[in-house]
Amino acid sequence: MAIQGDITRLEVDAVVNAANSALAGGGGVDGAIHRAAGQAQLAAACAELGGCAPGDAKATPGFGLSARWIIHTVGPVWRGGDRGEADVLASCYRRSLEVADELAARSVAFPAISTGVYGFPKDLAAQAAVGTLRAATTEVDRVVLVAFDAETLGLYSRLLAG
Ligand code: AR6
């Protein structure tokens, strides 16, 4: 399912964070998650993970979030589309679900990874998200695609209806 809203406020087992490879915190959804979880605690937990490669995912506790876990994934920076960006983005969704399965999380919320600061076109990112999630084998039984803006919600809704 897709909804429009603030991912930090959702009642799910795990929220996915669109992080950077240093797991250093930042702006956008990453900043919102760090603020809502508690900056100091989350920064300390992230520091123990030793970074995260683009396309990979690693978990921390959710701390102040109602979600029990935060799954940090690192999307690709858009460089025109011929540098494997779509494959890396698909890997973010797959790896995040694999980590969710390891945690036995049954409900997971995803932001529109890479579509902010990292510049991935929203329509292509929505296709990658929906296509990859549909093809994945997982124990997660509730996947929520969280759009921050109406345009992204419209893209998800059309793809999910088709
Ligand atoms: N809830 C849901 N979605 C949100 C929220 C929120 N509270 N806030 C923003 N979005 P971005 P990226 C949407 O830039 O492109 C950070 O500095 C936003 O509208 O957060 O993967 C990291 O540290 C957009 O659709 O992530 C990295 O350095 C989507 O989340 C870098 O940005 C992703 O936008 C990652 O860039």
Tens digits of residue pLDDT in 85-137: 999 999 999 999 999 999 999 999 999 999 999 999 999 999 999 999 999 99
Burial of 133 (0-12, 13-18, 19+ CB in 10 A): buried
Q: What is the mean pLDDT of residues 26-51?
A: 98
pLDDT at 162 over 90: no
| Residues tagged active-site | 30
Tell me the HSE value of 7 on the side-chain side, using a 13 A CA sphere. 34
pLDDT at 65 over 90: yes
Cα of 43 from ligand 1 centre, angstroms:
17
pTM above 0.95, yes or no: yes
CATH number for the domain spanning 44: value is 3.40.220.10
Give the pair of three-digit tokens for residue 30.
Answer: 């990453």
**Sign of the alpha-carbon torsion through 74, 77, 83, 86:** positive
Q: What is the mean pLDDT of residues 139-150?
A: 98
Q: What is the pLDDT of residue 114?
A: 99
Residues spanned by the domain of 78: 2-161
Angle at 106 between CA 119 and CA 118, to 5 degrees: 5
pLDDT at 63 over 90: yes
Nearest CA to ligand 1 atom 9: 29
Best of 148, 151, 155, 156 for a ligand 1 pocket test (most atoms within 8 Å of beta carbon): 148
Q: Which residues contact 13 (CB under 8 A, 6 or more apart)?
A: 67, 68, 69, 100, 103, 105, 106, 107, 108
Which DSSP helix (H) or strand (E) runs through 93? helix 85-103
Q: What is the mean pLDDT of residues 13-38?
A: 98
Atom of ligand 1 nearest to the CA of 152: 25
Q: What is the DSSP letter of 149?
A: S
Overall domain count for the chain? 1
CA separation for the pair 16, 37 (Å, rounded): 13
Pocket residues for ligand 1 (CB within 6 Å)? 6-8, 18-20, 26-30, 32, 75, 111-118, 146, 148-149, 152
